[in-house]
Amino acid sequence: MNGMLKVKMASNVVPLRAPAPVEPQPTIPARATRYPDLRYMGSKSRLLPWIFETLNTIDFDSVLDPFSGTGCVGYLFKSMDRRIVASDFMNFSSLVARATIANNKVHLDGKAIRQLIDGTPPAHNFIEKNFNGVFYKQEDLKFLDRVSGNIRQLQDPYEQALAFAALFRSCLKRQPRGVFTISGDLSHYDDGRRDLRLSIEEHFLEQIEVYNAAVFDNGRKNRALRSDIFQLPNERVDLVYLDPPYVPRSDDNCYTKRYHFLEGLSCYWQGLPIDENTKVKKIAKRYTPFSYRREAVEAFDRMFARFSRSKIALSYSSNGFPDLQQLVELMGKHKKTVAVFEKPHRYHFGTHNNVQRASVTEYLIVGQ
């Protein structure tokens, strides 16, 4: 006979209190996980849930992201309904931020897309002339010359930025290793991936849809700038998220060296002379003190001093210079409290079978 066993409790027995319900932890906004991230050295896309979990405990309404890179962290902040100022010293990165972070409403409609893929021969053939036999097939180079001119015919700066973002991602997908340090016959990297079978124009049409879907309005006036961190206009924000370049172990860690083609494409190489003595037609590196061991410590100190009135969150890796202890001491000169959060991480760079993997400990160093 089934039933409930009734037990008479003594008067001095205190019944156990039911455990308090555990409050569900906030999770990363779903929109942030759908960002069209670029294949980019040091991208934080796989760390976004951890970054959200860590920084969501901090009280801030406005945020500056002065090393925006792919834009994925800035887009995370936008998805958290914060007001964002995104900036980068690379022009192509600033255009991506304009398309996805500053842009709240503009999409590429049918009229704009038809204008972009218009087949009228271009007025200039700079790309075909200079990069034939270096990157891509000739039909891709012809398309890049044509679409570069067509983008500049668009009147809306957000439409232009969306088109550029779609074009940059198309170029990275079509380039076997996603970098522009290798050239010529790259057939040995062809592992049958769909990305390598599509033309850049086919990629471009797909990526327009991807970036259109990424546009949303978070109700804030977000901005995207192109600037060196030490030349940014002074604007008070609650939080500054810093993800500077690391002193490279080798020259191959240079962003300009890896992505010079995208940087040139972003302005059709206006003011960016090509080094004809290089096989891949590089452009001159942009100076940053964070790339030099003899200057990095002083640069971090200057940076922390510059943003001493704001809360600071520094993304860093265990393979960087200066080391963690020195950075904590430097930040401690300008902030009352410094907390370190860490997470084991493995960077995957490249898509071929011998993909490079670097195991590091990733840090978020938070000063308040």
pLDDT band, very low/low/confident/very high, at 20 (cuts 50, 70, 90): low
Quote the tokens at residue 39.
Answer: 């294949």
Domain assignment present for 11: no
SS3 labels along 290-337: HHCHHHHHHHHHHHHHHCCCCEEEEEEECCCCCCHHHHHHHHHCCCCC
Is residue 258, in this structure, part of any structural domain at all?
Answer: yes
Question: DSSP letters along 333-357, please?
Answer: TT-S-EEEEEEEEEEEE-SSTT-EE
DSSP string, 14-67: PPPPPPPPPPPPP---HHHHT------TT--GGGHHHHHHHHTTS--SEEEETT
Residue 295 has pLDDT above 50, yes or no: yes
Average pLDDT over residues 163-186: 90
Judged against a pLDDT cut of 80, whether residue 11 lies above it is answered with no
| Residue 69 contacts residue 97 (beta carbons within 8 Å) | no
Total number of domains in the chain:
1
Pull the structure tokens for residue 223: 């901005």
Q: pLDDT tens digits, residue range 28-85?
A: 999 999 999 888 877 898 999 999 999 999 999 999 999 999 999 999 999 999 999 9
CATH number of the CATH domain containing 119: 3.40.50.150
Q: Any idea which of 4-8, 272-276, 346-350 has the lowest mean pLDDT? A: 4-8
With cut-offs at 50, 70 and 90, classify the pLDDT of residue 246.
Answer: confident
- Can you give the pLDDT at residue 346? 67
- Residue 195: what pLDDT? 83
268 Cβ contact partners less than 8 Å away, ≥ 6 residues apart: 124, 126, 148, 152
292 pLDDT more than 60:
yes
Instruction: State yes or no: pLDDT of 215 exceeds 50.
Output: yes
Whether residue 126 has pLDDT greater than 90? yes
Residue 7 has pLDDT above 50, yes or no: no
pLDDT band for position 92 (cuts 50, 70, 90):
very high
Judge whether 215 lies within some domain: yes
Residues 190/194/196/202 CA torsion (nearest 10 deg): 170
Q: Is residue 163 part of a domain?
A: yes
CA distance 130 to 137: 13
One-letter amino acid at 58 equals I
| Residue 26 falls inside a structural domain | no
Q: Rounded mean pLDDT of 220-231? A: 97
Which has more confidence, 328 or 177? 328
Indicate if the pLDDT at residue 101 is higher than 70. Answer: yes
List, for residues 247-270, the tens digit of each pLDDT value. Answer: 866 555 688 889 999 999 999 999
The pLDDT value recorded for residue 41 is: 79
Task: Report percent pLDDT > 70 for the chain.
Answer: 88
What confidence category does residue 21 fall into, taking pLDDT thresholds of 50, 70 and 90?
low
Whether 3 is in a domain gets the answer: no
Residue 129 domain boundaries: 32-367
CA dist list (Å): 175 to 178, 180, 182, 318: 5, 8, 9, 29
For residue 22, being part of any structural domain is answered with no
Residue 138 covered by a domain: yes
Choice among 56-70, 172-186, 191-205, 324-338 with the minimum mean pLDDT? 172-186
- For residue 248, the 8-state DSSP code is P
